[in-house]
Structure 1
Amino acid sequence: MANAKHPVDEVLPASQLILYGLQHVLAMYAGAVAVPLIIAGAAGLTKAQTGFLINADLFTCGIATLLQTLGLWKLGIRIPVIQGVTFAAVTPMIMIAKSVGMEGIYGAVIIGGIFTFLTAPYFSKLLRFFPPVVTGSVITVIGLSLLGVGVDLAAGGTGVPNYGAFKFLAVAAVVLVCILLINKFFKGFIANAAVLLGLIIGFIVAIPLGLVSFSGVGSAAWLHVDTPFFFGMPKFDLGAIISMVLVMLVTMVESTGDFLAIGEIIEKPLGEEDLTRGLRADGFATFLGGILNAFPYTAFAQNVGLVGLTGVRSRYVVATSGVILVLMGLLPKLAMIIASVPNAVIGGAGIAMFSIVAASGIKTLAQVDFKHNRYNIFIVAISIGVGMIPLVSPNFFKYFPSWSQTILHSNITLGAVTAIILNAFFNGGGHEDDIKKELKANSGIDAA
């Protein structure tokens, strides 16, 4: 039948929408709440502020997902893609939080969102500057730099008096081992929720060890609506903005790869206009995140795999996930319980998640031609080496101007700029269609 409805536009019974929608939420939930927990710890936020940050993130995740799946005007790709915070932004946001404060993060996020929205129609022309040798190098730098954050959390968190105490390391090890065992002995839905289950088990183990405090849970409201600019009016720091714009370039590559991968899975070819609508929605959601105390948003790769695993192609399933996320974002008590998760528990999961990010970069680099193109090894080696400078030697750039410190202390910024420049110098621009095929094959920085 020529006019038959494509499965992506099929509206399933309410019970199936809720069940499958909840499954998508569980698959991405750990990654969604991990970023606000990490940023809150790095910025020294109080427990109440951390709870608010989690609520704001979940609420905006839901809005972004609804925008992508249902569409509005020229926004939204209208396929089953769930939105979440990109891990690519974590390291720059930690640096911005320490140097400029939370207001600096949100100023940069707002500009980054506007940049993404405006450049979405032209991004396909820039794809040739982001072949796998560039994206793989950058993703590897992101994973390696984030590992330091995960290790610090596993040891109890930077600044705690008994940093590295055995009970912290033991709890982190329990979480990590549980994630590995669940992936080894289970498949499907349970395996997809391995990180979330590991966090729950670690949380339970931490309670009798005295690492969990439920203070503030009882006094938290049952329902609260997100307050724009909760942490103050945004600050527009040039270094922070440049870092975030580079993050959004990497995120656009990431989202494009995920969009193309989903299009292949659901057997719905995506054109330039589809990709433009999807990237515009990313930009608008990121801009909205800067207003609603949230973060940059992208397609979550683990949910791409879930679409292929379940065979459920309806975009309304993921739209239901968006509704669930919005409702969860309105529940402060739930956020305060999540904020009670000890650093060591988050660190155990973080080591797994961030290592997978690095491994995803290595997987992407495995597709690079090192045999016939000897320049690629220099691009990878130098971009990763330069990207690691702030991690291995924090004082390396201490004599540079103060305005440049945010940029020079961002691993992803240094790694990305170096990889882009070296690739352009050695290889020039690749063919756009070839880059798209490689992106589709290697999509997924956030597959943690």
Structure 2
Amino acid sequence: MSATATTERPRRSRHPVDEVLPAPRLFVYGFQHVLAFYAGAVIVPILLASAIDLSTEELIHLINADLFTCGIASIIQSIGFWKVGVRLPLLQGVTFTAVSPMIAIGLAAGGGTDGLLVIYGAVIVAGLFTFFIAPYFSRLIRFFPPVVTGTVITIIGIALLPVAAADAVGGAGPTLDPPSGRNMAYALGTLALIVVIQRVFKGFMATVAVLVGLVAGTLVAWALGDAHFDSVSGSSWFGVTTPFYFGWPKFSVAAIVSMVVVMLITAVETTGDVFATGEIVEKRIERDDIARALRADGLATTIGGVLNSFPYTCFAENVGLVRLTRVKSRYVVAMAGAIMIVIGLIPKAGAIVAGIPHPVLGGAALAMFATVAVVGIQTLSRVDFHDHRNVVIVGTSVGLAMYVTAQPDVAKAVPEWAQIILGSGITLGSITAILLNLVFHHVGRRRGPAVAGTPGSLIRLSDINAMTREQFVDTFSGLFQGPTWVVERAFDQRPFRDTRDLRQAFQEALFSATTEEQLLLVNAYPDLGAEAVAGGDEGEGSLRDQASLGLTRLDERSHDELSELNHEYRDRFGFPLVTCVRDRDSYAQVLRHGWERLNNSPSQEHAAALVEISKIAAYRFDDLVADANPIHSARQRIVDVDQMA
């Protein structure tokens, strides 16, 4: 063996998140993020300045300071250092949750710059608070299973759609033109162009579809006289924000408490955004990731208070852009941060970006925000909705979120401190999902884990260990099709120390049986897509298994395809094709997997059938369990996190 061969080591593949793209592509992708982000970035200082009566010059400084600090915060979050920054393609922006509380704080302090100084004092303290509680908050990750994170992500996407719709019709506000057919044409034209580019082109063009849509829409609007860049000539070439530009901050206990509550709520939203981005870039999110993200939020918020800006959080708007473009590199967001720093230093550049018409921005935002909701729906697809408690959690949370989103004035019916919660559909929906998950899945755990039954009649591990053989078989016979010898032999392994011990007892009984017994069990399972399954003749377990991918309601062509596969498989091996349908993503994957298994040897297929039966039993066991039951992948993640705690 040569010296070269002994010293060479295989290179570890780099995750797409850590890929450093060529500089030109980095700039283009980063600029696309800035364009998609800009309107949302400047809306908070605009709303605040109007509410607390700041001058135009003060507003311009707030916008420049906001963009400058957004850039710094985004670099911190995406690049990271020490234990700060999640190192994902997450852009940082001022949280909308803070708007109402900041206005209330500013007005209570007399408005103007006096109110602004009290706001900054509260922002600085709340940022430090968030930074230091980050590792403790991250330990709550086990309370964020897919039923919670999926709900929160879906709500974020849906609740932001009215913002996009308001831009699409020309913007929200009394000074803007009323809705018109021309505005609709700009919005729908921009959206249509993005869709066409995504459909027709591949590679680079597909990834910059949003950028092309924004530029093309703006050029058309400018040619027709609806995009104006008059403010560019009146803006200076250079302007920098200095620390404490408006004066030294003032500290009010009431203001600080309000802002701390805002940051706690924002931490929930950040957690949802991190999980959403993790889903998109296919990177596992762990407890330390949440802690790093929240530390970055806290540090950015503190910097914001010093540099005349506001509380920061991961910006959900750009989560949708990552999903839409499929560009996963975090260095793209770092480039966007650098561009925003430059824009924050050059008011003329900011004025050019500000010239993009609202309807054009709205058309692009409709695609991006809806894509965030799609990510949430993908996460919810991993939730067991046969468990009615999960239906209640999702339904109630989404319903309340839409209640205050569609009717924002309802917040005026409660005291000002409660408006922090009722003033935002994202906030109310997120808190509702978390609380309902606690109530349905965690309250009462000290009595021992529930392993079967219904919420009204739970069967706990102590009850299992006290059962007779007949009671045990009656409770768990549905885990397996046909003969009950697997369950009977599992009973002989009592007492069970925990739920995992009980699961392993079934597996041990299954795989230690004789070949003849195993073949009898395999032959008890019905064909995929069989009419007997759809009619319920093969039991509730088989019906639920196959209905998960619609095998009980196939069209005639698909039914014939599956029947042919079943026939070929039986002829080849002498027993039915057994596959864990719930482990597959689609009917097509079930079909492809079945045909591939025809190439195996009889001995290999015998073993494969037993493995599939074990998986089916695991899912059916989950259906019995009355405690929290995310699907296997999510459950494993929570187990790993608990073990780290």
Deviations 1:381-407 (A, max 9, x none): 111111222233334343422332232
Partner SS for 1:388: helix
Rate the CA distance shift 1:358–1:273 in 2: closer, same or farther, 3 A: closer
Rate the CA distance shift 1:115–1:405 in 2: closer, same or farther, 3 A: same
Aligned pair 1:298/2:314, yes or no? yes
Check conservation: 2:190, 2:217, Cα contact below 8 A. Answer: yes
Check conservation: 1:238, 1:403, Cα contact below 8 A. Answer: no
- Overall identity of the aligned pairs, in %: 37
Q: CA deviation at 1:251?
A: 0.2
Aligned pair 1:252/2:258, yes or no? no
Q: CA deviation at 1:317?
A: 7.5
Rate the CA distance shift 1:335–1:367 in 2: closer, same or farther, 3 A: same
Deviations 1:251-287 (A, max 9, x none): 03432664687684xxxx9876566445423331233
Distance 1:145 1:340 in 2: 26
Rate the CA distance shift 1:229–1:162 in 2: closer, same or farther, 3 A: same
Check conservation: 1:138, 1:415, Cα contact below 8 A. Answer: yes
Aligned pair 1:178/2:185, yes or no? no
Residue 361 of structure 1 corresponds to 376
Residue 208 of structure 1 corresponds to 223
Letter in 2 for 1:174: G
Distance 1:28 1:386 in 2: 31
Partner SS for 2:414: coil
Moved more, 55-64 or 376-385: 55-64
Q: CA deviation at 1:85?
A: 2.9
Check conservation: 1:141, 1:358, Cα contact below 8 A. Answer: yes
Aligned pair 1:346/2:353, yes or no? no
The size of the alignment, in residue pairs, is 422
Distance 1:302 1:151 in 2: 16
Check conservation: 2:126, 2:256, Cα contact below 8 A. Answer: no
Partner SS for 1:212: coil
Rate the CA distance shift 1:6–1:347 in 2: closer, same or farther, 3 A: same
Distance 2:189 2:280 in 1: 34
Partner SS for 2:91: strand
Check conservation: 1:100, 1:237, Cα contact below 8 A. Answer: no
Distance 2:168 2:296 in 1: 35
- Looking at both structures, which has the greater relative contact order when contacts are Cα pairs under 8 Å and sequence separation is at least 6? 1
Rate the CA distance shift 1:301–1:354 in 2: closer, same or farther, 3 A: closer
Picking from 88, 91, 94, the partner of 1:84 is 91
Deviations 1:141-192 (A, max 9, x none): 2222222222222222232464112222221222221222222222333322
Q: CA deviation at 1:117?
A: 1.5
Residue 434 of structure 1 corresponds to 634
Aligned pair 1:18/2:18, yes or no? no
Rate the CA distance shift 1:179–1:55 in 2: closer, same or farther, 3 A: farther
Q: CA deviation at 1:73?
A: 4.5
Distance 2:320 2:217 in 1: 22
Distance 1:355 1:107 in 2: 36
Show the 5 A alignment for 1:313-392: 322-371=337-386, 373-392=387-406
Distance 2:326 2:365 in 1: 25
Letter in 2 for 1:197: V
Q: CA deviation at 1:380?
A: 0.7
Rate the CA distance shift 1:230–1:142 in 2: closer, same or farther, 3 A: farther
Distance 1:436 1:19 in 2: 41
Letter in 2 for 1:254: D
Letter in 2 for 1:67: I
Letter in 1 for 2:92: V
Is the radius of gyration larger for structure 1 or structure 2?
2
- Aligned-CA RMSD value: 4.0
Letter in 1 for 2:312: P
Rate the CA distance shift 1:349–1:3 in 2: closer, same or farther, 3 A: same
Tell me the TM-score normalised to structure 1 length: 0.77
Check conservation: 2:85, 2:296, Cα contact below 8 A. Answer: yes
Letter in 1 for 2:355: S
Show the 5 A alignment for 1:75-114: 75-76=84-85, 79=87, 81-85=88-92, 89-90=95-96, 92-96=97-101, 103=116, 110=124, 113-114=127-128
Rate the CA distance shift 1:166–1:230 in 2: closer, same or farther, 3 A: farther
Rate the CA distance shift 1:274–1:381 in 2: closer, same or farther, 3 A: closer
Distance 2:179 2:226 in 1: 14
Tell me the TM-score normalised to structure 2 length: 0.56
Rate the CA distance shift 1:124–1:431 in 2: closer, same or farther, 3 A: farther
Residue 72 of structure 2 corresponds to 63
Residue 284 of structure 1 corresponds to 299
Distance 2:165 2:14 in 1: 41
Letter in 1 for 2:314: T
Rate the CA distance shift 1:123–1:26 in 2: closer, same or farther, 3 A: same
Aligned pair 1:417/2:424, yes or no? no
Picking from 201, 208, 214, the partner of 1:193 is 208
Q: CA deviation at 1:34?
A: 3.0
Q: CA deviation at 1:410?
A: 1.6
Instruction: Give the unaligned 5+ runs of structure 1.
Output: 439-448
Check conservation: 1:47, 1:339, Cα contact below 8 A. Answer: no
Partner SS for 2:435: helix
